[in-house]
A and B are shown apart, each in its own frame.
Chain A
Amino acid sequence: MSQGQPGQAPGHGHGPGSGFRPRRFVLGQFTDSDALLVATRKMRELGHKQLDTHTPYPVHGIEAALGLGRAKIPTIVLMGAIAGACIAYSMIYYMNVFDFPINVANRPQHSPPSMLPITFELAILLGGSSAFFGLFMLLKLPEPYHPVFEARSFARASIDGFFLSVEVPAGTDPADVAVDMRGFGSTEVQVIEESER
């Protein structure tokens, strides 16, 4: 993409008169997932960047078509789980062994078996939470507004519609992109412009 984009992207957060440059999208609808897959691959081969698809359910192979890398979530979850385990074990050790040891039923102060259940549970808790909240941070959700919502027909994207969206770089004519997309069998193509708010 052009160098201008990143510089401008934050711009649209500013209030009126801050030189707001609306992002522009070309949104094409397809009859079914297969058509969408083909179109996506071809568009990418044509060199279009900033592609994204919108489907009611995950379409098999879409990652490849969009040329996405490995998912990041697994790493986050792993770290969360490890952190949970460490916190739990050290907490128990500090509280019952180091800070305030008491003779409880003649049991050893440091008894790993009795510490395992909580260690395990906390690992799950932090792992699971990071899977959930990590995802939202990764996807920048919640994101109440996105330009694609401007399209009337986009409502079907969550019901039975299959869409391909291309963010048009500055200095490119959306019409050209639209042409390409039609060429790949999109039933309906529209150009969307981010509205200022």
Chain B
Amino acid sequence: MASTSPALAPATSNDPLEPALLIEGAQTDASLNDSLFGHVWALPGKGWWGLFGIALMGLTLLLVGLTYTLYKGIGAWGNNIPVGWAFGIINFVWWIGIGHAGTLISAILLLLQQKWRTSINRFAEAMTLFAVICALIFPLIHTGRPWFAAYWLLPYPSVNGIWPQFKSPLVWDVFAVSTYFTISLLFWFLGLIPDLASLRDSSKSPTKRMIYGIFAMGWRGSGRHWAEYKWSYLLLAGLSTPLVLSVHTIVSFYFAVSVLPGWHTTVFPPYFVAGAVFSGFAMVLTWMVPARHFLGLKHVVTMKHLENMNKVILATGLMVTYGYVMEHFIAWYSGNPYEFAMFFKVRQRGPFAPVYWLMIFCNVVVPQIFWSKKARTSLPIMWIAAILVNVGMWCERFNIIVTALHRDFLPSKWEIYAPTWVDWSIYLGTIGLFSTLFLLFLKFVPAVAATEVKELRHEIAHHAEGGEAHG
């Protein structure tokens, strides 16, 4: 067929983008097609079934937790007065944050024309979707009367004869998160269509052909279509970029608009976003490292991709650290006794000090190892670091929410907080749900955007040939 190995051979040269490292070995469109769809056509192996079983167990845990909560009420959790919010909102913020990496990789890196995004964006976008699904459980279930919360926040003429109170960040968030989920879904599906078409066309069995055909919506790679399609995709990316920034900004408003010491902080929006990307990339790595191995994607998800992601983690980690520093500095500089007590007494020496110090270790200390290339390129190190970062970010949310609440203005109403088994089962349950969805995704949809990789391969080939034919 068309341009083959020789095209790639010289590509290892002095190109600053080091494109060769983005796709390893001699590849053709066909070979890419086979290798990238291989895991879709192959029957699930023992490993997959094992993981899927574990994930389902997690899912059951979630269902048990939710059912019990609905049956008993929020009292089934550890929450109290003053700690009105705990695991529910912690997990919500944590999951939403994780979601952000997906949109960021696929949107922002697209706008910045970062070629290395192509092999990982599909993967990351899927992760976004599933993370947001997990997150969406909490705003609903954490309310005292979810059967009303489900629709009373929407602006419709309700029996109460009254409208939502649009000054509340909770209402802002209803719009933000639902928008975020919708746009991410559309963006993901749009990018998926050409691949679905090639799945349709390369599938052997008529049933699969039929199913993928339905989802491909009759895509035929028409040049006229591509012309509009590219714009649509680009614009969705363009819209997702401010969206992803706004969503976590609004989540941070939960806290920033309040009056509580430790919540009422203007640095929250930027550092929540940074933290979100930070945790998101960590989560991508956590899944990508094993996945590229088991799905045979090493040739498209190369060490360069992983290293770049580690660089991002380092960068965002530094931003998060800056956020911490500023919080503490302002707490001291403002001379506000409540703020000072929160940041320098309660969090560092209070009952939840271990969580605080674990957060500092995971989010501030751990990322620093990525200054060394050795660490950036060592699979075990980056994998453990990624997991630690996820732990750290969860601790950060715990710190912001529970620690700030349990000791606020009046010492008379300071209370200790202790989560219950229901709290834990719901939290672990969402991880189960996430894994379940992810494993299904890996089974039915190409984990890498084949079309884009082919396009990339094509471009590289042309670079190699000095293809300034089309400037």
A176: interface (CB < 8 Å): no
B420: interface (CB < 8 Å): no
Residues of A near B239 (CB, < 8 A) are 77, 81, 124, 127-128, 131
B410: interface (CB < 8 Å): no
Known contacts being A104-B167, A128-B239, A139-B225, is A156 close to B155, with CB within 8 Å? no
B213: interface (CB < 8 Å): yes
Residues of A near B33 (CB, < 8 A) are 159-160
Q: Which residue in A32, A66, A132, A134 is a CB contact (below 8 Å) of B3?
A: A32
A118 to B153, CA, bound (A): 13
Known contacts being A146-B220, A160-B30, is A56 close to B163, with CB within 8 Å? no
**Contact of B165 with A72 in the complex, beta carbons under 8 Å:** no
**Contact of A132 with B218 in the complex, beta carbons under 8 Å:** no
A121 to B232, CA, bound (A): 19
- Smallest distance from the beta carbon of B367 to chain A beta carbons, Å? 31
Q: Which residue in A66, A125, A129, A135 is a CB contact (below 8 Å) of B228?
A: A135
Which segment of B43-51, B172-180, B368-376, B434-442 sits at the interface?
A: B172-180
A33 to B240, CA, bound (A): 31
- Residue of A40, A71, A136 with highest tally of chain B CB at under 10 A: A71
**Contact of B30 with A122 in the complex, beta carbons under 8 Å:** no
A131 to B214, CA, bound (A): 21
**Contact of B179 with A100 in the complex, beta carbons under 8 Å:** no
Residues of B near A58 (CB, < 8 A) are 226, 229-230, 455
Which segment of A13-21, A91-99, A188-196 sits at the interface?
A: A91-99
**Contact of B246 with A159 in the complex, beta carbons under 8 Å:** no
Known contacts being A61-B470, A118-B172, A132-B236, is A68 close to B183, with CB within 8 Å? no
B224: interface (CB < 8 Å): yes
Known contacts being A73-B232, A148-B220, is A114 close to B202, with CB within 8 Å? no
B42: interface (CB < 8 Å): no
Residues of A near B175 (CB, < 8 A) are 88, 117-118, 121-122, 125
The digit string for B235-257, where 1 denotes a CB below 8 A from any CB of A, is: 11001101100100010010000
Which segment of A2-10, A47-55, A177-185 sits at the interface?
A: A47-55
Residues of A near B219 (CB, < 8 A) are 141, 158
Residues of B near A57 (CB, < 8 A) are 194, 221, 451-452, 454-455, 458
Residues of A near B229 (CB, < 8 A) are 58, 135, 139
- Which residue of chain B lies nearest to A73 when distances are taken between CB atoms in the complex? B231
**Contact of A95 with B166 in the complex, beta carbons under 8 Å:** yes
A124 to B246, CA, bound (A): 10
Q: Which residue in A53, A96, A127 is a CB contact (below 8 Å) of B165?
A: A96
Binding site of B, secondary structure by majority: helix, strand, loop or mixed? helix
Residues of B near A136 (CB, < 8 A) are 217
A148 to B222, CA, bound (A): 10
Known contacts being A52-B224, A56-B221, A58-B455, is A131 close to B235, with CB within 8 Å? yes
Residues of B near A53 (CB, < 8 A) are 221-223
B28: interface (CB < 8 Å): yes
**Contact of B228 with A139 in the complex, beta carbons under 8 Å:** yes
A74: interface (CB < 8 Å): yes
- Which residue of chain B lies nearest to A92 when distances are taken between CB atoms in the complex? B166
Residues of A near B112 (CB, < 8 A) are none
Q: Which residue in A62, A71, A145, A160 is a CB contact (below 8 Å) of B28?
A: A160
**Contact of B221 with A144 in the complex, beta carbons under 8 Å:** no
B197: interface (CB < 8 Å): yes
A175 to B232, CA, bound (A): 37
A148 to B220, CA, bound (A): 8
**Contact of A77 with B226 in the complex, beta carbons under 8 Å:** no
A143 to B235, CA, bound (A): 23
A59 to B455, CA, bound (A): 8
**Contact of A120 with B246 in the complex, beta carbons under 8 Å:** yes
A96 to B221, CA, bound (A): 49
A155: interface (CB < 8 Å): yes
Residues of A near B194 (CB, < 8 A) are 56-57, 158
B159: interface (CB < 8 Å): no
The digit string for B392-418, where 1 denotes a CB below 8 A from any CB of A, is: 000000000000000000000000000
Q: List 29 A-B contacts (CB under 8 A).
A: A31-B2, A37-B470, A54-B223, A55-B223, A56-B451, A57-B451, A62-B223, A68-B224, A88-B175, A92-B166, A95-B164, A117-B172, A121-B176, A122-B179, A124-B179, A124-B239, A124-B243, A128-B183, A128-B239, A128-B240, A132-B236, A135-B190, A135-B229, A143-B218, A148-B220, A157-B220, A158-B198, A159-B29, A160-B33
> What is the interface of chain B, defined by CB distance below 8 A to chain A?
1-3, 28-30, 33, 155, 161-167, 169, 171-172, 175-176, 178-179, 182-183, 186-187, 189-190, 194, 197-198, 200-202, 213-214, 217-232, 235-236, 239-240, 242-243, 246, 250, 253, 451-452, 454-455, 458, 469-470
Other contacts beyond A73-B235, A92-B166: 9, CB < 8 A: A31-B1, A57-B452, A61-B470, A68-B227, A74-B235, A117-B172, A146-B220, A155-B201, A160-B454
